[in-house]
């Protein structure tokens, strides 16, 4: 017989999270939604108000206490969401209602070396706190997204294919020691997926795939309302799915991996080819001017109507779409959200992705399937990282500790 998990979240964590995620709500709403007694709700709400964690709005209609809308006092505390790309760092300071208070961005030459990179990130987190006139003790938690597979429970990188020096680097521990608060580490696409579900185009969507197409390709799976990580935490690692018939060697050691055939470096390489042969006048002139071609150049040339660039973007989109078609048949999501640098290439790319998915999936799996670009784009990373740590510190097992320590 299968084991069942018994979980009885404490009334206080349950009531607080209800106000946090769906407030403003009245005491009556909370009684209806939770099934707790009026006195339990009343008691817990009074405690939250007393601690300055929840505030009561004056009701417009001057009604009694029971109907006054309650919401979380955002300013009662702060969390940081940080997001590291291969050449970019974003950090956002959030309050408890996930309003962004300060956002900073940095370009990085290299993130190959973990010590240098993490010292830089920690310095910038300290700076953002200083700028907001906050102390370390005002920080309730930190969420971080990194561009490699992460052992989520341990908070350490696991066999990063692009950044081998980071393997088993004790990330979580490092940040926890420095900032003396709970820290969560996840991979980039998982936090981006969470960001889209919390504040992006996938709000109110229970099952979706977030696809990031940039220097690499990865997917975040959001199933039944939460991030699905798989047995070893590497679910969604689709960059190294094989495209049958392709033989180009990938840095992972296999041939014809999706990432190697379709991601930004492949697009740039194909762009360089048609620039060198001068088949594409637009790309040839960019090459002459800058001495190189990047994927963004190819995307821009496509937007300007260059046929060769259009062909390159379409080919990439079509091949990604053919892989997605298989995954759509397999997981039957409501929505696919595409983010990452290549997603900025616009409808030429998206059209090719769509066509390939719809042409190769079953009717039932695509009848209501939505395929969109991310609207949050790079912000999905920091919002997701911030949301990740907020969910954790207010989760039933940590709720009491969080409140006691910080208020």
- Which residues, numbered 299-358, are part of the site for its own copies (CB under 8 A)? 322-323, 325-327, 329-334
SS3 content of the chain, % helix, strand, coil (to 5): 50, 20, 35
d(Cα 114, Cα 168) in Å, to the nearest integer? 11
Query: Between 13 and 274, whose beta carbon lies closer to its own copies?
Result: 13
* Contact (Cβ atoms closer than 8 angstroms) between residue 392 and residue 182: yes
* 191, 198, 263, 342: residue in contact with its own copies (rule CB under 8 A): 198
Taking CB under 8 A as the binding criterion, the range among 31-39, 282-290, 294-302, 347-355 that sits at the site for its own copies is 31-39
**Which residues in the 36-65 window bind its own copies by CB under 8 A?**
none
- Interface with its own copies by CB under 8 A: which range of 12-20, 39-47, 302-310, 377-385? 12-20
Judged by CB under 8 A, the residue of 56, 103, 173, 207 near its own copies is 207
CA distances from 389 to 156, 191, 276 (A): 16, 10, 48
CA-closest candidate to residue 208, choices 190, 221, 196: 221
Task: Compute how many other C-beta atoms are within 10 angstroms of the C-beta atom of residue 60.
Answer: 7
Alpha helices per DSSP H over 132-185: 171-179
Tokens of 155: 């908070």
| Helical residues (DSSP H) of 243-395, grouped into ranges | 258-262, 264-276, 281-290, 295-303, 307-331, 347-359, 363-366, 379-393
Q: Which is nearer to its own copies, 287 or 338 (CB)?
A: 338
Q: How far apart are CA 191 and CA 24, in angstroms?
A: 26
Q: In the set 181, 219, 264, 268, which binds its own copies (CB under 8 A)?
A: 219
Q: 3-class DSSP state for residue 185?
A: strand
Nearest approach in angstroms of CB 354 to its own copies is: 16
Site membership for its own copies, residue 224 (CB under 8 A) = yes
SS3 for 93? strand
Stretch of 163-171, 192-200, 269-277, 345-353 contacting its own copies, by CB under 8 A: 192-200
Nearer to its own copies, 4 or 58 (CB): 4
Of 5, 60, 109, 153, which one interacts with its own copies (CB under 8 A)? 5
Question: Beta partners for 83?
Answer: 90, 145
Please say whether the beta carbons of 295 and 342 come within 8 A: yes
Stretch 158-177 residues interacting with its own copies (CB under 8 A)? 158-159
Residues in 225-264 at the binding interface with its own copies, rule: CB under 8 A? 225, 228-238, 240-245, 252, 254
Question: Does the footprint of its own copies cover residue 223 (CB under 8 A)?
Answer: yes
- Helix segments in 201-253, DSSP class H: none
Q: Which helix (H) or strand (E) holds 71?
A: strand 70-72
Q: Which stretch binds its own copies (CB under 8 A): 20-28, 55-63, 82-90, 125-133?
A: 20-28
Residue 15 beta carbon to its own copies: minimum distance, rounded to whole angstroms:
9
Q: Output 42 or 331, the one with its CB closest to its own copies.
A: 331
Does position 13 bind its own copies by CB under 8 A?
no
Residues 125-164 close enough to bind its own copies by CB under 8 A: 149, 158-159
Taking the CA atoms of residue 166, residue 171, residue 174 and residue 175 in that order, the dihedral angle to the nearest 10 degrees is: 130
Could you tell me the smallest distance in angstroms from the CB atom of residue 305 to its own copies? 30
Minimum CB distance to its own copies, residue 236 (Å): 7
Q: Is 73 in the site for its own copies (CB under 8 A)?
A: no
Q: What's phi and psi for 178, nearest 5 deg?
A: -65, -45
Residues from 75 through 134 that contact its own copies (CB under 8 A): 98
Question: 208-213 and 183-187: which strand pairing?
Answer: unpaired
Q: Shortest distance, CB of residue 146 to its own copies, whole angstroms?
A: 15
Q: Tell whether residue 203 is a contact of its own copies (CB under 8 A).
A: yes
């Amino acid at each position: 017989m299968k084991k069942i998990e018994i979980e009885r979240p404490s009334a206080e964590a349950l009531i607080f999270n209800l106000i946090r995620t769906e407030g403003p709500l009245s005491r009556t709403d909370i009684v209806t939604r939770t099934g707790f007694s009026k006195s339990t709700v009343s008691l817990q709400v009074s405690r939250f108000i007393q601690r300055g964690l929840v505030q009561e709005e004056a009701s417009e209609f001057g009604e009694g206490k029971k109907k006054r809308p309650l919401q979380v006092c955002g300013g009662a505390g702060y969390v940081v969401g940080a997001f590291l790309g291969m050449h970019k760092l974003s950090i956002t300071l959030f309050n408890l209602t996930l309003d962004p208070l300060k956002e900073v961005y940095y370009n990085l030459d290299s993130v190959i070396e973990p010590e240098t990179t993490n010292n830089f990130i920690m310095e910038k987190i300290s700076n953002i706190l200083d700028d907001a006139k906050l102390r370390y003790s005002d920080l309730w938690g930190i969420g971080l997204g990194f561009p490699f597979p992460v052992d989520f429970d341990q908070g350490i990188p696991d066999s990063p294919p692009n950044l081998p020096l980071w393997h088993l680097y004790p990330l979580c521990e490092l940040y926890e020691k420095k900032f003396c608060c709970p820290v969560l580490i996840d991979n980039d696409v998982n936090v981006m997926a969470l960001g889209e579900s919390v504040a992006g185009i996938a709000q109110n969507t229970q099952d979706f795939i977030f696809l990031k197409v940039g220097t690499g390709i990865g997917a975040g799976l959001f199933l039944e309302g939460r991030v699905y990580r798989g047995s070893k935490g590497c679910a969604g690692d689709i960059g190294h799915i094989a495209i049958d018939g392709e033989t180009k060697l990938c840095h992972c050691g296999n041939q014809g991996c999706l990432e190697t055939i379709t991601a930004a470096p492949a697009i740039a390489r194909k762009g360089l080819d048609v620039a060198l042969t001068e088949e594409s006048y637009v790309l040839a002139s960019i090459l002459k001017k800058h001495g190189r071609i990047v994927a963004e150049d190819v995307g821009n040339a496509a937007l300007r109507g260059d046929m060769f660039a259009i062909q390159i973007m379409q080919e990439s989109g079509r091949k990604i779409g053919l892989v997605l078609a298989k995954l759509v048949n397999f997981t039957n999501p409501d929505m696919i959200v595409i983010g990452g640098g290549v997603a900025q290439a616009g409808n030429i790319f998206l059209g090719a992705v769509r066509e390939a998915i719809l042409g190769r999936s079953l009717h039932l799996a695509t009848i209501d399937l939505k395929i969109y670009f991310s609207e949050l784009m790079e912000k999905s990373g920091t919002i997701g990282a911030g949301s990740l740590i907020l969910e954790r510190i207010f989760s039933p097992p940590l709720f009491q500790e969080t409140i006691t320590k910080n208020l």
